[in-house]
Copies of this chain bind each other. A is one copy, B any other.
Amino acid sequence: MEQWANWAWLFGIIGLIIALLMYSSLKKKDAGNERMQDLSNQIHEGAMVFLKREYSILAIFVIIVFLLLFWLINWQTSVAYVSGAICSMLAGLTGMTSATRANVRTTQAAATGGLEEALSVSFFGGGAVMGIAVASLGLLGLGIYYYVFCNDPTTASYLNGFGMGASSVALFARVGGGIYTKSADVGADLVGKVEAGIPEDDPRNPGVIADNVGDNVGDIAGMGADIFESYVNSVIASIAIAATMAMTANVAMRQAYMALPLVLVMLGFLCSLVGIWSVKLLAKAGPQRALRYSTFIAAALFLIIGWFVVKSMSVSTGTFWAVFWGMLAGILIGVITEYYTSAGPIIKIAESSQTGPATNVITGLAIGMESTALPIFIIVVAIAFAAYNAGLYGIGLSAVGMLATVGATMSIDAYGPVADNAGGISEMSELGPEVRSVTDRLDALGNTTAAIGKGFAIGSAALTALALFSAYGQAVKLTSINLINPKVVEGLFIGGIIPFLVASMTMKSVGKAAFKIVEEIRRQFREIPGIMEGKGKPEPAKCVDIASKAALKEMILPGLLAILAPILVGFILGKEALGGMLAGAVVTGALMALFMANSGGAWDNAKKYIETGHLGGKHSEAHNASIIGDTVGDPFKDTSGPSMNILIKLMSVIALVLAPLLV
């Protein structure tokens, strides 16, 4: 079976062709009336403008790093680095293109065909195209470099550059996209809903297009780059551990261990295709079930066939169990995330809103902090079992297990923002409440299923970072990263600071960027005559421009901090201290990711719970208090929280790439 790994690139190409075919079938669908098409084009162009500017900045950064790697490490690593960066950008671009084409077609499907038809367009045309494309780009890039470098263990480490390329683009994309989406959201809501008293997505609001663009650059492009990065790095970490580990008896066996992670994701890719396809069949059983079952079908199929794959290769069966624990942990964390952002906890937050915004915020923070315990504990158990079954290599494989069926999970994650956009377009083009109700149901559907996806993202980030950390330890030939050595403790503390600093920076950035948008919308309301009566034409492009510039400016500092910190610690305090730093960053990063994502999600759903008529419903005192909590939660859940995931992996993969200089 290990020879199959050399064909991963082909799987990638086939996958890309499938995605392309699905995309062209989407393009053929009806895009609605002229107004809808116009709005969709504005969103599409706004998103493209942002991506173009973002990628221009990143290009400079990528070229600098390319030259540094070329000069300091070797040309192979630097070429792999650039490829990783490009693949990551392509993942974002593909997702964005399909999503901004699928949104208006989903609206039209909702208007003409109802829920089932709208689900089909948004899921297959938006979500699945992106899910398949992300996995395919990963298989293509990993496949090529595996074939070129990894058939010889001495050159296997060149592959690490690919992971670093993916990570560094992902961090900027996540942070930039996260700042964009939240500042546009908060800005548009603050002036539109609160000050002017017009509904969400009202066409008179010049910030609405920017808000809809934000859904695409944050939730689609940002998340695509994030998941791509996890996917690629879980495989790379496992290969890096296999390439240097001592437990392999002979060369053939080592090659089998190096091939296994890639073979597993190839299998996972096929199972994802089956899972995605199953939505078509299951749709009759109800859309909610269809989405949920598709994930489980992909996962179950992957585990069953995975068992035989492992059996057929010259690797221990313990490796299968490591994969199994990882997947199980991912699902459990997803279920816990779902619990903390629904059910009991959100009712508690809603009830505490009755005594005002302060108690709402305190309860939300307390629940977010509490919600870190079980997921981290599950990760601990997964590490323990995976390591028991397959050593440090097992930790890497458990991350691979979580991510192998990314094609399926990502499809569900990515269709949500498409549905959200579809709702916005229906509102702006005034298709009436019936169409809006279809898109709202579609959106709500995605929200509940997406909780599992978020759990997967955080869990896999922690496991991938730990696997990269282990790979780093082997790469710099450390048999011990000793906490009794004061330098390691120093590293641990420095690592612990970084997530707090990045969280702080990104939260402040959202505030600054939102403030600029607020000012611009206020200016338009003031200066454009007749805008409130629907006669004067708003200038949404200006808001898009301001949000883009602000987000891109603000993404630089946290990005540089994440990149420079491991380099400085490695060269000043040494390789053992750098190990301590990575450990510190992973612990506080994972805790902050869970805390912020779950607080934010819980506040959001507590508000929605009140809006459905509980505790006085809309416009009650409790509702007003819950809006405050939700606003605090916005940068928590969509900017700072998700940045943590990439942050910890990026720092680890940089350390891994730097390893040759630190030995």
Given A355-B190, A632-B361, decide whether A484 and B486 contact each other with a Cβ distance below 8 A: no
How would residues 311 to 322 of chain A score, 1 for a CB under 8 Å from any chain B CB and 0 otherwise? 000000000000
| Chain B min CB distance to A329 (Å) | 13
Q: A584 contacts which chain B residues (CB < 8 A)?
A: 587
A residues 381-414 in Cβ contact with B at 8 Å: 383-384, 387, 392, 395
How would residues 577 to 597 of chain A score, 1 for a CB under 8 Å from any chain B CB and 0 otherwise? 001100110011011000100
Q: A250 interface residue, CB < 8 Å from B?
A: no
Cβ contact of A356, chosen from B356, B372, B515, B628, cutoff 8 A? B628
Q: Are A383 and B511 in contact (CB under 8 A)?
A: no
Q: A125 interface residue, CB < 8 Å from B?
A: no
Q: A377 interface residue, CB < 8 Å from B?
A: yes
Q: Are A493 and B379 in contact (CB under 8 A)?
A: yes
Q: A252 interface residue, CB < 8 Å from B?
A: no
How would residues 466 to 480 of chain A score, 1 for a CB under 8 Å from any chain B CB and 0 otherwise? 100110010000111
Q: A595 contacts which chain B residues (CB < 8 A)?
A: 500
Q: Are A369 and B500 in contact (CB under 8 A)?
A: yes
- From A116-124, A139-147, A170-178, A501-509, give the one contacting chain B: A501-509
A395–B384 CA distance with the chains assembled, in angstroms: 32
A619–B398 CA distance with the chains assembled, in angstroms: 56
A488–B190 CA distance with the chains assembled, in angstroms: 48
Cβ contact of A384, chosen from B361, B490, B501, B508, cutoff 8 A? B490
Q: Are B484 and A479 in contact (CB under 8 A)?
A: yes
Q: Are A376 and B493 in contact (CB under 8 A)?
A: yes
Q: Are B190 and A489 in contact (CB under 8 A)?
A: no
Q: Are B497 and A387 in contact (CB under 8 A)?
A: no
Q: Are A486 and B369 in contact (CB under 8 A)?
A: no
| Chain B min CB distance to A177 (Å) | 19
How many residues on the A side are at the interface (Cβ–Cβ under 8 A)? 74
Q: Are B365 and A507 in contact (CB under 8 A)?
A: yes
In the complex formed, the residue of B with least CB distance to A491 is B380
In the complex formed, the residue of B with least CB distance to A190 is B355
Point out which of A500, A504, A518 has the most chain B C-beta atoms below 10 A from its C-beta: A500
| Chain B min CB distance to A265 (Å) | 23
Q: A434 interface residue, CB < 8 Å from B?
A: no
A22–B372 CA distance with the chains assembled, in angstroms: 49
Q: A19 interface residue, CB < 8 Å from B?
A: no
Q: Are A496 and B587 in contact (CB under 8 A)?
A: yes
Q: A489 contacts which chain B residues (CB < 8 A)?
A: 383, 466, 583
Q: A247 interface residue, CB < 8 Å from B?
A: no
Cβ contact of A380, chosen from B365, B383, B490, cutoff 8 A? B490
Q: A473 contacts which chain B residues (CB < 8 A)?
A: 483-484
Q: Are A383 and B486 in contact (CB under 8 A)?
A: yes
Q: Are A484 and B493 in contact (CB under 8 A)?
A: no
In the complex formed, the residue of B with least CB distance to A635 is B362
Copies of the polypeptide in the assembly: 2
Q: A631 contacts which chain B residues (CB < 8 A)?
A: 358-359, 362
Q: A152 interface residue, CB < 8 Å from B?
A: no
Q: Are A632 and B500 in contact (CB under 8 A)?
A: no
How would residues 455 to 467 of chain A score, 1 for a CB under 8 Å from any chain B CB and 0 otherwise? 0000000000010
Q: A481 contacts which chain B residues (CB < 8 A)?
A: 482-484
Q: Are B466 and A503 in contact (CB under 8 A)?
A: no
In the complex formed, the residue of B with least CB distance to A372 is B500
Q: Are A484 and B494 in contact (CB under 8 A)?
A: no
| Chain B min CB distance to A347 (Å) | 14
A376–B363 CA distance with the chains assembled, in angstroms: 28
A489–B490 CA distance with the chains assembled, in angstroms: 17
Cβ contact of A358, chosen from B365, B583, B628, cutoff 8 A? B628
A residues 541-598 in Cβ contact with B at 8 Å: 579-580, 583-584, 587-588, 590-591, 595
**Additional A-B contacts beyond A362-B632, A482-B482 (19; CB < 8 A):** A358-B632, A359-B631, A362-B510, A362-B631, A366-B505, A366-B507, A369-B500, A376-B493, A377-B494, A383-B489, A395-B486, A466-B489, A480-B482, A480-B484, A481-B482, A483-B580, A492-B583, A584-B587, A588-B588
Q: List 29 A-B contacts (CB under 8 A).
A: A356-B628, A357-B358, A357-B628, A358-B627, A358-B628, A359-B631, A361-B628, A362-B507, A362-B511, A362-B631, A362-B635, A365-B632, A366-B508, A366-B511, A369-B507, A370-B500, A370-B501, A370-B504, A370-B505, A372-B500, A377-B494, A387-B486, A473-B483, A480-B480, A483-B580, A483-B583, A484-B579, A492-B587, A500-B595
A interface residues with partner B (beta carbon < 8 Å)? 190, 352, 355-359, 361-363, 365-370, 372-373, 376-377, 379-380, 383-384, 387, 392, 395, 466, 469-470, 473, 478-484, 486-490, 492-494, 496-497, 500-501, 503-505, 507-508, 510-511, 515, 518, 579-580, 583-584, 587-588, 590-591, 595, 627-629, 631-632, 635
